[in-house]
Amino acid sequence: MKNAHDKISLVIPVYNEADNLPILYEEVVAALAGIDREWELLFIDDGSRDLSLQVIRGLADADERVRYLAFVENCGQSAAFAAGFREAAGEVVVTMDADLQNDPRDIPAMLEAYASRGQDMVIGWRASRQDSWGKRVASTIANRVRNRISRETVRDTGCSLKVMRTAMLRNIPMFNGMHRFLPTLMKLEGARVAEVRVNHRPRLKGVSKYGVWDRALAASYDLLAVRWMQKRHIRYRVREKR
């Protein structure tokens, strides 16, 4: 019998990924076939201009576990994640990209690490990146700078494949760019965070939505804001209450 108290919500932002969505759906269904928990697949269509929304509607019509939220216009990945976190019905949220570079087969092991180690968050670590040389170099530099300024030790904060406790996730500040700093923001809420090595696959269909330098520029502003949050975060422990 499925345990409703451990329901899982897969939150997946979508922007012009019509060709990838049917494959992703089949992979998710196969990957989660053996888990003893209820789950839902929550697509957030971020104002797609291709047939993504039509594909999502078809999947939702065919499988009641598939739900979706469609934006009027493109708002960005952070907005899509924020909306998905609010809409999620599960006690556990799993995030991933829609471009098939994240492998759904990694999800069961991450859920096991989440449950068995008593974690509040498990993040994927792409040990073997299947991106262009330029993207790999830029990502490595950005990760080191991000860790240095935010005083973190996260190997791969840019990996979208993450498992998080929903109640804690909803307490973090939501802003454009926040998806790049989820481990740090979750730690501000007291989260215990673990890393698990995951598979990373080359993009076969569609095109990347991000440039190297425009993302680096935006992240630099966000990083300073996150460091400010760390320094100004309110902490207290209640001794007694009546």
Q: What is the pLDDT of residue 83?
A: 96
> Where exactly are the structural domains of the chain?
3-232
- Phi/psi of residue 160, nearest 5 degrees: -75, -15
Q: What ranges in the chain are assigned the alpha helix state H? A: 21-31, 52-62, 77-87, 107-116, 133-150, 166-169, 182-188, 212-232
pLDDT at residue 71 in the model = 97
Angle at 179 between CA 174 and CA 180, to 5 degrees: 125
Cβ burial, residue 159 (10 Å; 0-12/13-18/19+) = buried
Cα 72 from chain centroid (whole Å): 22
- pLDDT for residue 1: 35
The DSSP H or E segment spanning 178 is none
What CA–CA distance (Å, rounded) separates 66 from 10?
A: 10
Can you give the pTM of this predicted structure? 0.81
pLDDT at 2: 44
Nearest to 163 by CA among 201, 206, 230, 115: 115
* Predicted local confidence at residue 216, as pLDDT: 56
CATH for the stretch 3-232: 3.90.550.10
For residues 114 and 108, what is the distance between their CA atoms, to the nearest angstrom? 10
What pLDDT does 151 receive? 65
Which parts of the chain register pLDDT below 70?
1-5, 128-155, 206-221
47-71 residue pLDDT tens: 999 999 999 999 999 999 999 999 9
Residue length, the chain? 242
Torsion from C-alpha of 161, 22, 166, 15, nearest 10 degrees: 80
Cβ neighbors of 16 (< 8 A, separation 6 or more) are: 48, 49, 50, 52, 206, 207, 209
